Amino acid sequence: MTKPRPSRPRVGEPATRASGGRPVPTTSKPSRLRVLGFVVVAVVLLGAGVYMAGNTFFTGHDVSIPAGAIAVNSGMDGFTPSTLDAKPGQTLTLVWSNKDDAAMLANGVHTLVSDSLKVHLEDPAESTVTVTLTAPMTPGDYDFWCDSCCGGKDTPAMHGTLHVEA
């Protein structure tokens, strides 16, 4: 009824293919290639699992703050902290978290916007992103705000200040 498949020889059959001129040894053990293939697949699956588990751990809200970085939170009450201190020309690294639900935010993001600092940054709902803010060389107080919730720029509580030391 069923025709024998013409492809690969069954284990136990005399070897008909030759590699490099030598006859392929017939063996009942799985070939090295098969074992290697299995190991590769296992390692890839394991790696993917560790990677995904890692994402779950490291994108949670209890994010560890790298040395020198500043933890900032955006919420319905504005930026916390709302004043950031910098030296002239200093680049600040902000680990910026947004714990709010997307439905409460315009475009699902809190923003950090400033004309004088030339930034328009976004932090998606329920996530933490790392962003940088470079202080101008001229000392002074530079205004920034969130324009995607609670009335945006028109609401005083939505503003923050980058204080550049003299």
Footprint on this chain of Cu ion (rule: CB under 5 A): 110, 146, 149
Minimum Å gap between C-beta 74 and Cu ion is 5
Q: Closest CB to Cu ion belongs to which residue?
A: 146
**CB burial string 11-39: b at 16+ within 10 A, e below:** eeeeeeeeeeeeeeeeeeeeeeeeeeeee
- Pick between residue 94 and residue 110 the one whose CB is nearest to Cu ion: 110
- Pick between residue 75 and residue 140 the one whose CB is nearest to Cu ion: 75
- Pick between residue 36 and residue 76 the one whose CB is nearest to Cu ion: 76
Minimum Å gap between C-beta 159 and Cu ion is 11
Minimum Å gap between C-beta 148 and Cu ion is 5
- Pick between residue 121 and residue 146 the one whose CB is nearest to Cu ion: 146
Minimum Å gap between C-beta 141 and Cu ion is 20
- Pick between residue 108 and residue 164 the one whose CB is nearest to Cu ion: 108
Minimum Å gap between C-beta 128 and Cu ion is 15
Q: How far apart are CA 96 and CA 81, in angstroms?
A: 11
DSSP-derived pairing of the beta strands 22-23 and 18-19: antiparallel
Q: How far apart are CA 95 and CA 128, in angstroms?
A: 7
